[in-house]
Structure formats: structure tokens, C-alpha cells
Chain A
Amino acid sequence: MKEKAVTFGQDNHLVGIVGIPDEAVSHPHKPTILFLNAGLLHRVGPYRMSVDLARSLSSEGWLTMRFDLSGIGDSQFSREIAEYREIVKSDIRAAMDFIRDRYKSNSFVLIGLCSGASNAQMVAFADERIVGAVMMDGFAFRTARFYGQVLKKYLAQPGTAFSTFKVILMDQCRRIFHGKGKSTRRPSMFANIMPSRKTLAQEFRVMAEQRVAMLCIYSGGIPHYYKYAGQFFDMFRNVDFRGTLQLEYFPEADHTYTSVSERKKLIACIQQWINNVHGAGGFRRNRIG
């Protein structure tokens, strides 16, 4: 494989690295794998996780691109006057347009961690070119079992469970005194705006109906929100995922996979999912409506 630094976007303001597989292993009908920024971290990802994964995938025949959204890493700010979410959508579409025009590939799998997961979900729902999304530590809602686990741990080990207990208590106080769903903080430009559970459920339902393949991965690094392997399915009990969603949980990993061994497991998991789901014949998104 080889890598190429590229610029693209309306004002050529976005910077990315395209991983181009050798012709011998390259497959023209495979989707391109797009890596999104994790928070404000530039395109290499936490501890170069995106570099390692992109290179592994490209050496197996996948076209990949790691790129920086407007204002992050080496990309310039967008001149568009719009809400940040709209700029994110526009940047990801610009990346897909660039790949389509330059490399003749017009189906995509998005990979994102944290805000990258939220961005992947937001765009995967709306853009029919996306056939798959890997979402790491994306949206999470506390469930009855989550509260049960917190309480159980607090009663057994008050010291170690105190921080989680405190965060939950403060969240509840905030809701009572400031109104449900209202934040006391002024939202920043990069704030990860949380849609309601109902909205997300509906979006997941549509993605499942359209056969968008999803891999949702949660780490042990967000214990204030996610605490057990099956919590995601409990969060969206009323959604029929129709076999499109695979859920994984890495309780020993922190949010950014600082541990090399946990990071290796994560990379192997994503790689295997991409090869299994998108490799042989691929996943086709149904066009509905």
C-alpha cells in the first residue's frame, strides 16, 4: 500500500491522507473506509490508532482516508456560515465527493470515536452512500440496570463508586433545578449535542431498515454513562436492528485505548468486522423513500 496527502473541499481547506492498496489486493467494489476525528485530536487518532487501523486495512485491499474536519488538525476553518453540525456534514460529504471523483468509489464506511461516533451516526443516517458505521463510545443513555449496578457498587465499595455516584447525582440535581434536558453551560462550538433517545431510536430504526451495517463499541472509559455489555440494546429496546448491528464492549479499556493490548484487540475487532461484513460481496444499503 501507499499513502498520499491530499487537500479537498470547497476551498481546498481540508487535509487528508489516502491509503491506497496495491492493485493485486485492491477491489473496486469495496466501500472506502473514512476515519473521522476523535474530538479535537487530529487525523492520526488516539495513540495513532487511526494510522495503524487504516494501514492494516489498506494492506488488505481497502481504500482508506483519514482526514481532519474544518478547524481541526491541519484543516483550515470553513468559510461557511453555519451551525457546526452542518459544517461537519458538509466536510464528510466533501470527503466522499473527493473519493468518488478521484478514486471512483462511491460507498463508504465511517469510523469514529466519541464525537467522531456521533458524527458518523449523524451522517450515516442521512447519506445513502454510507453502507456502514463503526461508532466507538457514541451516544449513551443510562438504563435501570445501569442505576442498579451503580447503587450495588456504591453500597459494596462507597469509596471507589463515589465519583460515578456524584456525577449522576449532580446530573439529576441539574435536571430538577434547571429543567429537564437544559444545560447550565453555554454550548461551545464543538459541543456534542445530544439528540433525544426517541430521535436516536428513530434514526437507528431507519438505518436498520436501509441495511446500514453498524458496529457499536463501548469502552470501560465512560463509566458514568455505560456500564455493562448489553446496555446499548437496553437503551433501544424498541428498535428492531434486523441483524444490522454488532455490539462490543471492552470493559478493561479506557476511552482512548491507552493500553496497547486493548488497542490491539479493538483494531482486530474492527478489522474483522469490516472484512466479514463488507468484504465478501459487501453490504448494500436499501434506498427507501
Chain B
Amino acid sequence: MRTHMAIRQLAIQLSSVGFDVLKFDYYGLGDSAGTSEEGNPDIWRDDIRTAYRELKDISGMTSISIIGLRLGATLAAEAAFTGLSVKNLLLWDPVVKGREYVEELRKLTSSVLKGKQDHGPGNCETLVGFPLAAHTISMLSAIDLTHIAFKGKMKVFLVCSEDREEYGQFHRHIETAGHPVRMINLSQIRDKASLEIQEGHVEEAEKMVAQWSDQDEFDQALIAHYAISEITSVLKSAV
């Protein structure tokens, strides 16, 4: 829910400052056709290429930037680094090590289902309510952005909501490969924002609670508004 809201709010903000924006669901997810057990990372990377062409056709723009969140960031990186011509690539909390990600999801599944077994159809494994084919899980586990080979000359922005060792490893890997990369640490921006509220912007904080019917204030309560603002300003200054 929060990722849908974050992407939607980001799309609204970016279009309000002049970007043409396309957001989409991968095959087998959200409103798109198919089922989760039919999807896999190869198909989803193709979806990114399809969306890329579609946006170019619709907008008439030649310069395209891609933003991805979590696994979406990983797939975007893989699509962009293997030949898609992209101006800016903004990766928000990418999944760097697939094996660890799958294990995290398995733990979460077990915790949500209180240890009960939940088998999907055929040879599927269920991860947090979604059945995925065994070969999809293998493909996800094989992801390792710290060993990805690069093509293209895009600017890379690595947006991190928290300090994780894997983000540092990925950052070093991109730099070593000679790509310009900027790391944006959202936890520092968040700390600064909360400090400002503590230091006297009390009326702003009160306004935030009181004006629930206002769209901006509502979204602020559910997603990190400072993150949306920061990403928007980063992309605006990059073009």
C-alpha cells in the first residue's frame, strides 16, 4: 500500500514540476494482466523496456529517466545497465542481494502466517501472500547488484531510507566501474526535518495533524513526504 502511494505521490509531484510521467504495474501484479506465478524477473525487465518505449511514444520525449523502488529499482538497474538508454537512473532502496531479500520475505511470510505452511499451485512457493514459481524464486535469489556489468552513461542516484551495508557495497561497485553516482541518505533528511519541527515549527506539525482533508497533508501521514520532495528536487536539478 505504501509503495503504491509513494509512487503515485512521486508521479504527481514530478508531473507538477513539468515531467511527463508513466507509472505501471509489472506483469502478474497490480492491475496488469497475468498472475504472480506467471511473472518472473525476465518478463518484468521486458515490461520496463515496453514502458520506456510507451512513454517515448506518448510524450514525444527523447530523454528518459527511470525511478524504481525496492525490487523495481533492482530491475530498473538491470534493464538500464544492460543497454537501455537512460539519462538518470534513480534507485530507491534497491534490493542488492537477492538471496537475502528472498530470505527476508520467507521470514516475513512465516511470521504473518504464524508458522503455518501455505502452498501455492503446482511448484510455487508463497512469499507474503503471493505465489511465485520455483524458477522465479531462483532468479530472484541470483540477483547481485554488486557484480552487475555496466553499459551506458547515465547518472545514477542511490536513494537509501536506512543505512545498510549492501547499499555501501553497491555504491562502491558503481563508482569503481566509473559511473557518476550520488548517494542520498533519507534518514539524514528525516532527522533534519524532525529537528526543525522540534525547534519551533510546532504550528506546522499541528497543521499536519489538523488538515486531514487536504491531499498533501493526508499523504504526508502515510508516506515520507520529505522523501518525495527530495527525490523530485534531485531529478529536477539533474535535467
Could you list which residues of chain A lie within 8 angstroms of chain B, going by C-beta atoms? 3, 5, 17, 40-44, 46-48, 51-52, 71, 73-74, 76-77, 188-189, 252, 254, 256-261, 263
A119 to chain B, nearest CB (A): 17
**Contact of A48 with B212 in the complex, beta carbons under 8 Å:** no
Is A254 within 8 A of B112, CB to CB?
Answer: yes
CB distance from B7 to the nearest CB of A (A): 10
Residue of A nearest to B210 (CB): A186
Query: Does B116 reach chain A (CB closer than 8 Å)?
Result: yes
The answer, among A43, A258, A261, for a CB contact under 8 Å with B112, is A258
B222's closest neighbor in chain A, by CB?
Answer: A40
- From B30, B31, B119, A260 is in contact (CB under 8 Å) with B119
Chain A residues whose CB sits within 8 angstroms of the CB of B30 once the complex forms: 44, 48, 51
List the one stretch of B43-51, B127-135, B170-178, B182-190 in contact with chain A. Answer: B127-135
Number of interface residues of B (CB under 8 A): 27
Given A47-B130, A51-B31, the answer on whether A77 and B215 have CB atoms closer than 8 Å is yes
CB pair A259–B118 under 8 Å, yes or no, is: yes
Distance (Å) between the CB of A129 and the closest chain B CB?
Answer: 26
Interfacial residues, chain B to chain A (CB-CB below 8 A):
1, 4-5, 8, 29-31, 35-36, 109, 112-113, 116, 118-121, 126, 128-131, 212-213, 215, 218, 222
Residues in B with CB closer than 8 Å to A52 are 35
Contact between chains at B116 and A259 (CB < 8 Å): yes
Q: Is the CB of A48 within 8 A of B29?
A: yes
User: Which residues on the A side are within 8 Å of B36 (C-beta)?
Assistant: 48
Contacting pair A71 B218 (CB below 8 A): yes
- Taking a contact as CB atoms under 8 Å apart, the answer to whether B213 and A189 are in contact is yes
Query: Are A260's CB and B212's CB within 8 A?
Result: no
- A40 and B221 alpha carbons, distance in the complex (Å): 12
**B31 pairs with A261, CB closer than 8 A:** no
* Contact of A260 with B222 in the complex, beta carbons under 8 Å: no
Q: How far is the CA of A51 from the CA of B27 in the complex (A)?
A: 13
- Which residue of A is nearest B37, CB measured? A260
Q: Which residues of A contact B215 (CB under 8 A)?
A: 71, 76-77
Judge whether A260 and B129 touch: CB under 8 Å. Answer: yes
B109 CB, nearest partner CB in chain A, Å: 8
What are the nearest 3 A-B pairs in CB distance?
A: A47-B129, A189-B212, A258-B129
Let me know if A42 and B4 touch, CB within 8 A: yes
Report how far A261 CA is from B121 CA in the complex, Å.
9
Give the contacting residue for A42; candidates B1, B113, B116, B212; CB below 8 A: B1
**Bound form: Cα–Cα A65–B48 in Å:** 27
Distance from B80 Cβ to chain A, minimum over Cβ atoms (Å): 26
Contacts of B116 in A (CB 8 A): 252, 259
In the complex, chain B residues whose CB is within 8 Å of the CB of A42: 1, 4
Report chain B residues within 8 Å CB of A252.
Answer: 116
Q: Given A40-B222, A260-B131 in contact, is the A188-B212 Cβ separation under 8 Å?
A: yes
Complex interface: chain B residues within 8 A of A257 (CB): 129
